[in-house]
Amino acid sequence: MSFAWANSYEPKSAFTKWIDEKLPLPRLVYNAVGAGYPVPRNLNYMWNFGVLAGFFLVFQIITGVVLAMHYAANTEVAFGQIEHIMRNVNYGWLLKYAHANGASFFFLVIYMHIFRGFYYSSYKAPREMIWLLGVVIFLLMMATAFMGYVLPWGQMSFWGAKVITGLFGAIPVVGEPLQVWLVGGYAPNDSTLNRFFSLHFLLPFVIAGAVILHIWALHIPGSSNPTGVEVKKESDTVPFHPYYTAKDGWFLGLVLSIFAAVVFFAPNALGHAENWIEANPLSTPALIVPEWYFYPFYAILRAFTGDLTIPFTGIVLIEAKLLGVIAMFGSILLWFFLPWLDKSPVRSGSYRPLFRIFFWIFVVDMAALFYLGGAHAEEPYILLSQIATGWYFMHFLVILPIISQIEVPKALPFSITQAVLGSDDDAHGSKSGGGDKPEKVAGALPGHDDDGSLQPAE
């Protein structure tokens, strides 16, 4: 599955020929991330974050497996084991800090990756499946990170576990038994810690499996690009290796330098001091908040302070608690519908003047939610969370569908080649590829690729 002009793998030595016949793994690699995979020539740095995410997934698995060699999932000793890792295990401090900050960097990278998707509408046809798998991966990542944070059995671990498992208690009828079943008791206890450890060890491998599907799905249409115009011919692409291996490689080096600076000089900057106090089931910390990467969703959860009632009757339709839980899960599940909410046939935000304005407002809104999720549950933060939450849902459910109806997109380039070189011999005079008739371009985009822009999968 690739473009017709992709280089094909030719084993040179007798040994590689022998391997290629028995198990064509080198061929698979060559076609997936080697010279046999043609990639748009104009990808910008926002397209580096996928490979970075893959790096951090592997990094978390390696540091995690090593840490598990020194950890014990028992409420009596778990907190002490972390101290043991920090003080007694050779380089234990490094491994612990690398794993904890690795999680933060993983999420940072994923947020960049997701927002790249929002701006360039990477979720649109023919890449819906890549996006849907991405959302599944994100949900799995959240579950994994949440359970990992419980393992040190500090105050935030315990109370985080209690509050988050408490969310399930909000579900009508089955909620409370479900919560007791999930936790294995009436409050987080030894059973809880053990099952979380078991799952925290397992889920990264499930994520790895989902990532393989994600990349498989990606390799069918190939990557999109900053113009959103599909690849048409060979001059639109360059081989992944050496062009993008080199670009991804140097960018990884840059990010790792920043990562090292954080691990060595500010290893606790992203954490909460409270979690260096052992879990105490009888005393709640003054401010319970999750790790920073959950803040926006925590802000949405806390924004719902009043019941949904039928006005003037006082009949409660949905309790505040359940509303918050629905909104929090809904805010992510909404992403599953994004490919169908944003109907504009133009992919790239750079050619969508109206969309671009609302995209940046949405970024500000998310930034506000990030801030509010970490703030105390008091005014004015509650009101601000409510406004930001309202806008969040408005953006996806109202603004995006309306924009895609009324917006007049800018003229798209004829091809990637034209966008990069300023001209394309195949563009037959019609340099602007649609020019003053954007609807013509629009008609030719996703779904009906009658312009042959999408090469059929082999």
Active site residues: 219, 223, 247-248, 291
Give the H/E segment covering residue 215.
helix 190-219
**Cα 150 from Cα 59, distance rounded (Å):** 20
| Smaller CB separation from another protein, 221 or 324 | 324
Q: Interface with another protein includes 320 (CB under 8 A)?
A: yes
| Smaller CB separation from ligand HEM, 132 or 193 | 132
Q: Interface with ligand HEM includes 33 (CB under 6 A)?
A: no
User: Of 292, 279, 266, 366, nearest to 103 (Cα)?
Assistant: 292
Q: Interface with another protein includes 324 (CB under 8 A)?
A: yes
- In a 13 Å sphere around the CA of 25, the CA atoms on its Cβ side amount to 3
Sorted by sequence, the CB contacts under 8 Å of residue 99 that are 6+ apart come out as: 60, 63, 64, 67
Q: Give me the least distance between CB of 138 and ligand HEM, in Å please.
A: 4
**Cα 332 from Cα 342, distance rounded (Å):** 16
- The stretch near ligand HEM (CB under 6 A) out of 47-55, 94-102, 251-259, 440-448 is 47-55
Q: Interface with ligand HEM includes 129 (CB under 6 A)?
A: no
Pick out residues in 174-213 that bind ligand HEM (CB under 6 A).
207, 211
Sorted by sequence, the CB contacts under 8 Å of residue 258 that are 6+ apart come out as: none
306-345 footprint of ligand HEM as x/- string (CB under 6 A)? -----------------------------x----------
The Cα-based distances of 434 to 102, 284, 431 in angstroms read: 46, 62, 8
Q: Interface with another protein includes 182 (CB under 8 A)?
A: yes
Q: Interface with ligand HEM includes 147 (CB under 6 A)?
A: no
Strand ranges inside 12-153, DSSP E: 38-40
- C-alpha dihedral sign at 420, 423, 426, 431: positive
Q: Interface with ligand HEM includes 298 (CB under 6 A)?
A: no
**Which option in ligand HEM, another protein, none does residue 305 bind, with CB closer than 5 to 8 A by kind?**
another protein
Q: Give me the least distance between CB of 288 and another protein, in Å please.
A: 5
Q: Give me the least distance between CB of 102 and ligand HEM, in Å please.
A: 12
406: phi then psi, degrees, rounded to nearest 5? -100, -15
Q: Which residues pair with 238 in a beta bridge?
A: 39
| Smaller CB separation from ligand HEM, 188 or 226 | 226
- The stretch near ligand HEM (CB under 6 A) out of 118-126, 254-262, 312-320, 361-369 is 118-126
Pick out residues in 375-434 that bind another protein (CB under 8 A).
377-378, 382
CB neighbour burial string for 365-382, b if at least 16 within 10 angstroms, e if fewer: bbebbbbbbbbeeeeebb
Pick out residues in 214-243 that bind ligand HEM (CB under 6 A).
214-215, 218, 223-224
- A 10 A CB-CB count for 360 gives 12
Phi/psi region, residue 87 (left: phi>0; alpha: psi -120 to 50; beta: rest), is alpha
The Cα-based distances of 113 to 5, 41, 110, 315, 389 in angstroms read: 28, 19, 5, 44, 22
Contact status, residue 52 vs residue 259, Cβ threshold 8 Å: no
Q: Interface with another protein includes 312 (CB under 8 A)?
A: no
Among 282, 405, 425, 448, binds another protein (CB under 8 A): 282
| Smaller CB separation from another protein, 8 or 191 | 191
- Burial (CB count within 10 angstroms: exposed 0-12, middle 13-18, buried 19+), residue 172: exposed
**Which option in ligand HEM, another protein, none does residue 50 bind, with CB closer than 5 to 8 A by kind?**
ligand HEM
Question: DSSP state, 244?
Answer: I
| Smaller CB separation from another protein, 181 or 250 | 181
Binding site for another protein (CB under 8 A): 159, 162-163, 165-167, 169, 180-182, 184-187, 189, 191, 195, 281-284, 286-288, 302, 304-305, 307, 319-321, 324, 377-378, 382
Binding site for ligand HEM (CB under 6 A): 47, 49-51, 53-54, 57, 110, 113-114, 117, 120, 122-123, 127, 130-131, 134-135, 137-138, 207, 211, 214-215, 218, 223-224, 335
